Amino acid sequence: MKIKALLVASALLPLSALAQTPTSEIGQLFKALETSGCEFNRNGSWYNAQQASEHLHRKYDYLLKKGLVKSTESFIDLGASKSSMSGKAYLVRCGKAPAVESRSWFLAKLGQIRQASGRR
């Protein structure tokens, strides 16, 4: 009976809501970072987008193994916002624009991803 109710409930959801999982959204965030041309500051040093992506992939893998990634936002908060060593916020700098905290940058990108898929 519970399975039938779940099937009926999922049939009522828009297809785009079913297609976007934390895993696919996080993959899109990595792609957005890698293609951004932005620089990433971690513990006082600047890295290119590819180096930043590699570092965040390692953190993502660790968080997955620990079962800590419950949503895209949880990955952003636990893995992509600050150094787990120093506690310092990561920064993102794109072109000549001032650096912003990576949490804000990733949440803005997530909003764009969700808007493009029809999900809010």
109 within some domain:
yes
69 within some domain:
yes
99 within some domain:
yes
Task: Identify the residue with better confidence: 118 or 80.
Answer: 80
How far apart are the C-alpha atoms of 53 and 25, rounded to whole Å? 14
Residue 81 pLDDT: 98
How far apart are the C-alpha atoms of 92 and 70, rounded to whole Å? 24
97 within some domain:
yes
Residue 10 pLDDT: 41
Which domain range does residue 52 map to? 24-116
15 within some domain:
no
92 within some domain:
yes
The pTM assigned to this predicted structure is 0.81
Average pLDDT over residues 20-35: 93
Residue 20 pLDDT class (50, 70, 90 cuts): low
Length of the chain: 120
pLDDT tens for each residue of 65-102:
999 999 999 999 999 999 999 999 999 999 999 999 99
Query: Is the distance from CB of 89 to CB of 96 less than 8 angstroms?
Result: no
Residue 21 pLDDT class (50, 70, 90 cuts): confident
Helix (H) or strand (E) holding 53: helix 49-65
* Torsion sign, CA atoms 16, 19, 20, 24: negative
5 within some domain:
no
In the sheet where 91-93 sits, what is the strand order? Answer: 45-48, 39-42, 91-93, 100-101
Angle (CA) 58-62-63 rounded to 5° is 115
Q: How many domains does the chain have?
A: 1
Helix (H) or strand (E) holding 91: strand 91-93
Residue 119 pLDDT: 74
Report whether pLDDT(19) > 60.
no
